[in-house]
Structure 1
């Protein structure tokens, strides 16, 4: 079949970018800093990256045969990726509920945004910060508020022991310290 009769994907498929699931009736909690980061990324895509790429694709299309034009083919593919990310960020920001964790400063109870130091039943200590789904970065010790560890820790207090169900059986976590960012 000739290349002229093939349909180019329109990019409306959100394959692989489904929104991470929220608990039933749950909200998409996010810290003010996380919200600002996502909003900045969205605005940069809309105002800077996408217009530059549209210009490149337009230039490449004006060069003639599009079937063998690498700039055109790559540009169209990258444009679909940017549009997909813009849709994703727009949806997430629309449903985001910004929660400032500093309102709990001085509290010893675990809420969203807390940095919690806990000891595992095997004696190892770990510190995690409970963040929103869209901003948590495990490399920085941040966990999503819907993760099993966060769910076990939420609403407990310093000195409490909580049970964490795992595939290998119950683990006991002892909360050693709870910290919040200072009030601004």
Structure 2
């Protein structure tokens, strides 16, 4: 893990590692077994199990390489250890309100963890970049694909340390 790589939460790193372990320990051996069995059936040029198995094995190997690079390059940051809890930094859960007083609650996480349906915003997203360093009461202007919008920071919180 690089000290200057892209940030990721401990939970995000655990999810990457779990996916890597699942692919390497479960999926790849199962596909290898299918390919070995299919290869023993003779003509490989029209053998669907063999052709699909080889294709799936290449996909798994690509994903394993990608996950290995991400885990090596990412910098694990525990949001519970954030010293300045009055401002928005990595791992913060932020309540914001727009001009119409419609509120949203977002959590700033690593780019590998982002999930808009769960209000997890990637650290490199325009909204996260605009909110960095903001304190309660600050107004932040965000340039989104749908146009420019202004948000007020209503609350900032971090998870409690273990």
TM-score (norm 2): 0.92
1:181–1:106 CA distance, 2 compared to 1 (3 A):
farther
Q: Does 1:172 align with 2:150?
A: yes
Aligned to 2:133: 155
Could you list the runs of 5+ residues in structure 1 that have no partner in the other structure?
A: 1-25
Q: Which has the larger radius of gyration?
A: 1
Runs of 4+ in 1 over 3 A off after TM superposition: 166-170
1:142–1:168 CA distance, 2 compared to 1 (3 A):
closer
Could you list the runs of 5+ residues in structure 2 that have no partner in the other structure?
A: none
Match of 2:92 among 94, 101, 114: 114
Q: Is the 8 A contact 1:105 1:179 kept in 2?
A: no
Q: Is the 8 A contact 1:105 1:182 kept in 2?
A: no
Q: Deviations 1:131-157 (Å, cap 9, x if unpaired)?
A: 101111111011101111111111111
Aligned to 2:45: 67
Aligned to 1:129: 107
1:139–1:167 CA distance, 2 compared to 1 (3 A):
closer
Q: Please give the alpha-carbon distance, in whole angstroms, between the structure 1 residues aligned to 2:33 and 2:146.
A: 55
Match of 1:140 among 112, 118, 126: 118
Q: Please give the alpha-carbon distance, in whole angstroms, between the structure 1 residues aligned to 2:51 and 2:148.
A: 52
